[in-house]
Amino acid sequence: DADVTQTPRNRITKTGKRIMLECSQTKGHDRMYWYRQDPGLGLRLIYYSFDVKDINKGEISDGYSVSRQAQAKFSLSLESAIPNQTALYFCATSGASAYEQYFGPGTRLTVT
Amino acid sequence: GQQVMQIPQYQHVQEGEDFTTYCNSSTTLSNIQWYKQRPGGHPVFLIQLVKSGEVKKQKRLTFQFGEAKKNSSLHITATQTTDVGTYFCAGYKFSGGYNKLIFGAGTRLAVHP
């Protein structure tokens, strides 16, 4: 869905580097999420935000931080990347609790 | 750990055969959603089930939500090559004051012509 965009789409970085993944949405949704996808493990929630002033940790937040710069923008940072953070990262939005989520195209991150 | 279990992890069928994936939760779910992710793509919402025992159909796809709201299934009749992808169930569980969406690990479907 073009309504949710992620940049970059692919990134290769080295261990110890700081990296930021960005997500923007034009759906007007208040709720935004960051997920990580690994083969065989499905989608695991890293952080979620219900509005600009409400940010919450998900099940695997260690090693990650987020910033909600505006209703439409939610960025994910890896302060010091490590190889086991190599994964596919998805941003998602939803309109309200228990509603469907709309996913961005994903960012494939490789940490060497 | 994983609170929503999904089986099988992978299934390979011949075109025209049926396919079913099952989703089980250790706790009662508020509702359950199903998503499809095509190879190289992102998850796309298919449907949401809310009521105990609910059954919904979308053309060749049939979705069921168990009576106890702890399990769900997706059945595809007469698979086509366009059905290829990974199917995820995701259950909403009320925890810590919020409804949290918990994904199963997914079932990857391969369809051979």
Where residue A53 falls among pLDDT bands split at 50, 70, 90?
very high
Cβ neighbours for A73, distance < 8 A, ≥ 6 positions apart: A22, A23, A24, A25
Contacts of A96 (CB under 8 A, 6+ apart): A30, A31
User: Cβ separation of A100 and B92 shorter than 8 Å?
Assistant: no
∠ CA A47-A49-A51, nearest 5°, is: 170
Could you tell me if residue B16 is left (phi over 0), alpha (psi between -120 and 50 degrees) or otherwise beta?
Answer: left
pLDDT for residue A85: 97
Q: Please indicate whether, in this complex, the C-beta atoms of A97 and B101 are within 8 angstroms of each other.
A: no
pLDDT at A74: 98
B99 confidence band (pLDDT: 50, 70, 90):
confident
Beta partners for B91? Answer: B32, B102
Give the pLDDT confidence score for residue B42 in this predicted structure. Answer: 97
Gap between the Cα atoms of A40 and B40, Å rounded: 15
Average pLDDT over residues B74-84: 98
Give tens-digit pLDDT for A64-100.
999 999 999 999 999 999 999 999 999 999 987 668 9
Instruction: Choose from A3, A36, A37 for mutation: most chain B CBs within 10 A.
Output: A37
Neighbouring C-beta atoms of residue B93, cutoff 10 Å:
19
> What's the rounded Cα separation, in Å, for the pair A93 and A101?
5
Q: Which is more confidently placed, B95 or B1?
A: B95
More confident residue, B105 or B95: B105
Classify A105 as helix, strand or coil.
coil
Tracing tokens 């952080």 back to the chain, one arrives at A47
| Binary contact (A42, B106; C-beta < 8 A) | yes
Check CB contact under 8 Å for A103 and B101.
no
Q: Flag whether residue A39 sits within 8 Å of chain B, measured between CB atoms.
A: no
Residue of B nearest to A90 (CA): B42
Arithmetic mean of pLDDT, B41-69: 97
What is the identity of the amino acid at A81?
A: A
Question: What is the pLDDT averaged over residues A21-49?
Answer: 93
| Burial readout A72-109 (b: 16 or more C-beta within 10 A, e: otherwise) | bebbbebeebeeebebebbbbbbeeebbbbbbbbbbeb
pLDDT, average across residues B72-96: 93
**What is the pLDDT of chain A when averaged over all its residues?**
93
Work out the number of other CB atoms within 10 angstroms of the CB of residue B106. Answer: 27
B99, B90 in Cβ contact below 8 A? no
